[in-house]
Structure 1
Amino acid sequence: MVKISQGEGGPVQFRHRMEGLTSLVQGHRHSFGNLTDLVIPEDGRHRHTFRGITTTADGHRHTYTGQTGLNIGTGPNHFHRFRIMTNVADGHRHIITGRTTGVIRLGTTVGHRLIIEKIERQRVK
């Protein structure tokens, strides 16, 4: 998370939203959704770190972590491409690929949307 400026009531941060569906593996896909984390400067451009957990499908879920590609464009409408593999779960992995949204402003006045999944505890017999 990068603090850019002080807004009313606290720091304002700028990030990108990432969301979509994983590749199809063993007959199923997972949804993913997260915000980028740290900014990594690189030769006058930058990339972001990110991490998340997919939704449950076929009785399991996957974690993932990675870095976006370098920024494409400049200013508030720039975006990043990404392509990574999830961790192994249930004997396989999925590819997560796509592009981020433009910059979104987080702080006391602007919210964001993430995938939130209800987790239920089930008894194993």
Structure 2
Amino acid sequence: MEIPVTGYMYHADDSDSMHSHHLYITTWDGRQLPAHIHEFRGVTSFDGGHAHRYAGTTEPAPSGMQHTHQYFTFTSIDNQHRHQIRGTTGPSIPLPGGGHYHEFSGLTTVDGMMPHRHSYSGRTSR
């Protein structure tokens, strides 16, 4: 059985040594799959005598099927520097009454006059 699918692919700037792409499906069996985003925010771990705040929105992903989101943002400037936050959320986690959220976690880039990094974790918006 063949199911017609359309979508688009983009080059993923992953740290993997292999060349990779991500595929976003936009139609499945003739049905349009709307895309959606989530907000995320939080505070990093306290390292090097300070913490950073961060906030952003995920990249779009298809609705109506299991998926993850890519995310990227910069932290607040504290102690005269900032860090990058980048990663992929976990899979969607359904909420009672509809909707879903994603969990995310990782480590910031190494930055600062005394080079260091912070850990972060949280849940996206509904």
Range of TM-score over shorter length: 0.5 to 0.7
Q: 3-state DSSP class of the match of 2:93?
A: coil
Higher RCO (C-alpha under 8 Å, 6+ residues apart): 1
Write the mapping of 1:61-100 to structure 2, written as runs, cut at 5 A.
61-73=82-94, 77-90=99-112, 91-100=115-124
Q: Distance in 2 between matches of 1:65 and 1:95?
A: 12
**Is the contact made by 2:36 and 2:61 (CA closer than 8 Å) also made in structure 1?**
no
Structure 1, unaligned stretches of length 5 or more?
5-11, 103-125
Q: Deviations over 1:77-111 (max 9, x none)?
A: 20000001111002111112000010xxxxxxxxx
TM-score (norm 1): 0.65
Following TM superposition, the consecutive aligned residue runs of length 4 or more in structure 1 with deviations greater than 6 angstroms are none
Q: Deviations over 1:17-46 (max 9, x none)?
A: 0001011101111010000004279xx511
Q: 1:64 to 1:24 in 2, by over 3 A?
A: same
Q: Which residue of 2 aligns with 1:58?
A: 79
* Residues 1:49 and 2:70 aligned together: yes
TM-score (norm 2): 0.64
Q: Distance in 1 between matches of 2:62 and 2:106?
A: 17
Q: 3-state DSSP class of the match of 1:32?
A: strand
Identity across the alignment (%): 33
Q: Which is higher, the Rg of structure 1 or of structure 2?
A: 2
Q: Please provide the CA RMSD for this pair.
A: 2.7
> C-alpha displacement at 1:14, in angstroms?
2.3
Q: Distance in 1 between matches of 2:36 and 2:81?
A: 32
**Is the contact made by 2:35 and 2:61 (CA closer than 8 Å) also made in structure 1?**
no
User: In the alignment, residue 93 of structure 1 is paired with which amino acid?
Assistant: R
